[in-house]
Structure 1
Amino acid sequence: MYKIKTYNKISVKGLDRFDRAKYEVASDINSPDGYILRSHKLHDETLPESVKAVARAGAGTNNVPVADYSKKGVVVFNAPGANANAVKELVLTGMLLSSRGIIRGMNWSNSLTDMTDAGEMSKLMEKQKSQFAGSELMGKTLGVVGLGAIGSMVAETALALGMNVIGYDPALSVEAAWRLPSQVARAENLQALLSRSDFITLHVPAIDATHHLINEESLKSVKAGAVLLNFAREAIVDAQAVVQSLDAKKLGMYICDFPEPVLLNRDDVYATPHIGASTAEAEENCAIMVADQLMDYLENGNIKNSVNFPAVQMERAGSDSARITFCNDNVSGVLGNVLSVLADHNVNVIDMVNKSRGELAYNIIDVEQTPAADVVAAIKAVEHVITVRVI
């Protein structure tokens, strides 16, 4: 029986994917085979040797020490795109709030507590409503930085609203390019996008290359009065530089999901408390996706949507066969040495697949019969092999 330890509150629809005849799922399990979590930070926790995989029910994995886990052969899964619609809708909300006097108008209306005559209040509304006038999104230009699952959905929605859309993503994948609407214009660089956009929305991961991507220098290129939206990650934006740009009346507004002390109590900043993926639907989608991925890995060795291992899928050779999976340092000769071990022990290989990603390689080998313990031990002893499993 596999054991899954949960952190945070995971959607029941995700947890119900686990067949309780094969899985024990709880928050207080010893020697778990895998983790499922949302925002819980694992950096300061000791990882049990039993853990084979960690599933983050969301897109970002900055709460998981991915590099350390990679060295131990632990697969880290995430759920890209599962919360995309929730974030897309919040981005749209941010654009609408920033372009119309909605919040200021509601606050002013709620301040009229000394008025008791509805007719007089109506007259006052007509007299004062011009101070809350805004502008429409149609015809404005949206710059989308990062054109993955969320960015492409935001771009498509903006086009449907009659906006012009510019996109910038130096790491755009072929799959994402096919998904992207053809009407999205391509910016040569970030500066070109910032200078042409009335609204700028960020949808890139928090990695070293994107740390403070929006900073004092890049904000010099921003179009005067532009609205910056950040529903991706806090570290992408230098908040102090944003405040300086707002004070200089260069940047018009900053809409984000990451409040910081320097951003509070400003009329030109709307900061929500990290609610981008906080919808019932998004939490369910994320939990279902990572539960399925975790089960497929534990039961079949297949890998999909891992942030540190290559994507690997292979159909089972047959009900009588056994499956060996192993990961290793991505250096030459390892697979050949493992195959030599199997040949020396007369273990017949039926099918196999080998993939690599960065410094790691991962292998699935289907064999005619379950290998003996000495065969598994011999594979583990091969230089550069990190972990071995027999499924």
Structure 2
Amino acid sequence: MKLLVYSAQDFEVPFLKKANRERHKTTFIKEALDTNTAIKAMGFDAISIFSADDASLIVLEKLRDLGVKYITLRSAGYNNIQVKSAKRLGFKVANAPDYSPNAIAEHAVALLLAANRKIHVADRQVRQYNFRQEALLGFDLVGKTMGIIGTGRIGSIMSRIMHGFGCKIIANDIHMDDNLIAEYGVEYVDLPQLYKQADIISLHVPLTAATHHMVDGKAFGKMKPNVFLLNTARGAVVDTKALINALRDKKLGFYAADVYEKEKGLFFKDNSPNGIKDETLIALLSFPNVLLTPHQAYVTKEALTNIAEITFYNLDCWEQGEPCANELGFETLVL
């Protein structure tokens, strides 16, 4: 099978080549998939895309006309592809679920520790030979109430880790996990109660119609003063304009995230030569109590190995006419 890999990052290509084991004729390009770059898929049977690629209806129609039949995503999330439209047009589509929930949960914890103990501030200070501590005040995690929204594979690992810090865990999900309740004393509450009680809130939900902007102005109004909010889910789970208002009104202690609502065209590239024009992101980054990383939670050796293996597993299944466990069906509902 001939495969074109869009948005191929230099650091992930070796993992993909190793997983392929020369079974499929693979071409890597750095360009993201969009209406202009779809033409590059001419002559390919399959494409592989990442979360920054655009697989909207107009792009899918172009890919179909070019003869592409298979789309394998190198991500668990698939809000960037119109799955129902893809299936209607005859594509087979699969994602890479469960590639490394530990990587995402551990990055959320890293963000929390860095934000709380001002690691990023301390690093800047000592590089200027400033060894004072006035700007470095944090708090102990033990005894704090941790609110986890979404207790799937990533959220459950986050629960386990934060239980190890001695936190009280409260959670919200449409399904309660009996193992989390039994092993870590997780208490399931409704969202208003979680907002009211939690000292720290961590988001671990997919981006769907139901979760889009679920953390909005009303939600911020219900949160405890000085709450820490962590987002390693999707940027659009949080209403960025409401977030900026909450930061301006000093309703938040800290916002630490690995995602941003309008990542497309900004993330996964070096914008330092010319800067950026996104006024909302510029405003967000102006707050000293905001820590943003560039969607790097998945960048671990283990995660990249698993993503690559799953990518070619999906292709192997399709090529051999076998059922693919990761294939997304008509019932999938995305934003």
TM-score (ref. length: structure 1): 0.68
**Aligned pairs for 1:284-303 within 5 A:** 284-303=305-324
Q: Secondary structure at the match of 1:133?
A: coil
Structure with greater contact order relative to length (CA < 8 Å, sep ≥ 6): 2
Q: Does structure 2 retain, via aligned residues, the 8 Å contact 1:15–1:288?
A: no
Matches within 5 A, 1:222-261: 222-258=223-259, 260-261=281-282
Q: Which residue is 2:64 aligned to? A: 48
| Equivalent in the alignment of 2:90 | 73
1:12 maps to a residue whose letter is: P
Q: Secondary structure at the match of 1:209?
A: coil
Q: Deviations over 1:135-193 (max 9, x none)?
A: 111211211111122111111111122212111111x38xxx36646325243321111
Q: 1:101 to 1:6 in 2, by over 3 A?
A: closer
Q: 1:4 to 1:104 in 2, by over 3 A?
A: closer
Whether the 8 Å contact between 1:57 and 1:283 is mirrored in structure 2 is: no
Going from structure 1 to structure 2, the CA distance change for 1:97 and 1:19 (only over 3 Å counts) comes to closer
- Asked whether the 8 Å contact 1:14–1:289 carries over to 2, the reply is no
Question: What is the CA deviation profile of residues 208-236 of structure 1, one whole-angstrom value per residue up to 9, with x for unaligned ones?
Answer: 11111100011111111110011111111
Check the 8 A contact 2:258/2:296 in 1, yes or no: yes
The match for 2:296 among 275, 281, 292 is 275
**1:4-38 Cα deviation digits (max 9, x unpaired):** 22222254333444464x63222466443322222
1:35 alignment partner in structure 2: 47
Instruction: Name the count of aligned residue pairs.
Output: 293
Partner of 2:286: 265
3-state SS of paired residue (2:217) = coil
Unaligned runs of 5+ in 2: 29-39, 261-280
Matched, 1:59 2:76: yes
* Amino-acid identity (%): 27
Provide the aligned C-alpha RMSD in A: 2.5
Q: Given that residues 200 and 229 in structure 1 are in contact (C-alpha distance below 8 angstroms), is that contact kept between their aligned partners in structure 2?
A: yes
Alignment counterpart, residue 110 of structure 1, candidates 92, 102, 127: 127
Residue 211 of structure 1 corresponds to 212
The answer to whether the 8 Å contact 1:96/1:137 transfers is: no
Alpha-carbon distance in structure 2 between the residues aligned to 1:257 and 1:62? 17
Supply the AA of the counterpart residue of 1:297. W
2:16 to 14, 27, 32: 14
The Cα shift of 1:131 comes to 4.6
> So what's the TM-score if we normalise by structure 2?
0.79
Kindly state the Cα deviation for residue 93 of structure 1 after the two structures are TM-superposed: 0.9
Closer, same or farther: CA 304–143 of 1 in aligned 2, 3 Å = same
> 2 CA distance for matches of 1:292 and 1:184?
37
Judging changes above 3 Å, is the alpha-carbon distance between structure 1 residues 4 and 181 closer, same or farther for their aligned structure 2 residues? farther
Q: Mapping of 1:1-391 within 5 angstroms?
A: 2-9=1-8, 10-18=12-20, 20=22, 23-27=24-28, 30-38=42-50, 39-43=52-56, 44-45=58-59, 46-48=62-64, 50-112=67-129, 125=131, 128-170=132-174, 172=175, 177=177, 180=180, 182=182, 183-258=184-259, 260-308=281-329, 357=331
The structure where strand makes up a greater share of residues is 1
